[in-house]
Amino acid sequence: MEKQIILPENIELTEEVKTLYKDKDGKYYLSKEGAQEKLAMHFKCKCGNGIREKYRIFCDACEPPKKPKEIKEWDGKSMLYIDDRYFNDVEEIEEYCEDEGIDKHTLEIYICDGNYLSEVSEDYWEDVFAEDGELPKEIRVKLDELNKAIKEYGKPMSWSPSKYIAKFEWND
Ligand SMILES: [Zn+2]
């Protein structure tokens, strides 16, 4: 038996043909632009994976990006630094590892840079100089002497970790 549908009088239907866009998974989109926007890989990670979120730079596999560590040979003299602690030599590091139960092979040992006394320039007193003022001769002589002594002293007053990791080859 044929099904009868009775429409209220105020309903009018007109036929309209519209093009839809379908992706390979069978999903339909109303416009090509909309489909492209939805399906686009907005960015590509450096590894080649696509990234959907616009605010990201790396894909899941690559995030957080690892900065390559810079490694160099230790000169045997510079202070070494591990986790807020400074070490004079390898023996101290080995002791520390024993005390703390740390595997020394897993350590990242930073090489420190020395902080040296800087030479004193006459600019140090510029606030008290007259406009074209000059340092009195006898003071100038002493200043030169001081700077010579600082230069000759040549030893660091303290150490700060550099960005370099010491290259260590442990024997055991
Ligand atoms: Zn990636």
pLDDT tens for residues 38-55?
776 567 788 888 777 777
State the amino acid at position 116 in one-letter form.
Y
pLDDT tens-digit map of 103-153: 998 899 999 999 999 999 998 998 898 888 889 999 999 999 999 999 999
**Ligand 1 center to residue 53 CA distance, Å?**
13
45 and 104, same domain (yes or no): no
**Ligand 1 center to residue 63 CA distance, Å?**
7
**Ligand 1 center to residue 30 CA distance, Å?**
32
77 and 143, same domain (yes or no): yes
Residue 99 clears pLDDT 90, i.e. is over it: yes
The per-residue pLDDT for 65 is 65
98 and 51, same domain (yes or no): no
Tokens of 82: 């591990």
**Ligand 1 center to residue 171 CA distance, Å?**
37
74 and 104, same domain (yes or no): yes
157 and 90, same domain (yes or no): yes
Residue at token pair 């998974």: 25
Whether residue 80 contacts residue 110, with contact meaning beta carbons closer than 8 Å, is answered with yes
The per-residue pLDDT for 4 is 78
3-state SS class at 22:
strand
**Ligand 1 center to residue 51 CA distance, Å?**
8
58 and 131, same domain (yes or no): no
For residue 59, give its domain range. Answer: 16-66
**Ligand 1 center to residue 95 CA distance, Å?**
40
Q: How far, in Å, CA of 59 to CA of 57, rounded? A: 7
Number of domains in the chain: 2
3-state SS class at 95:
helix
Residue % of the chain over a pLDDT of 70 = 95
124 and 144, same domain (yes or no): yes
The per-residue pLDDT for 47 is 85
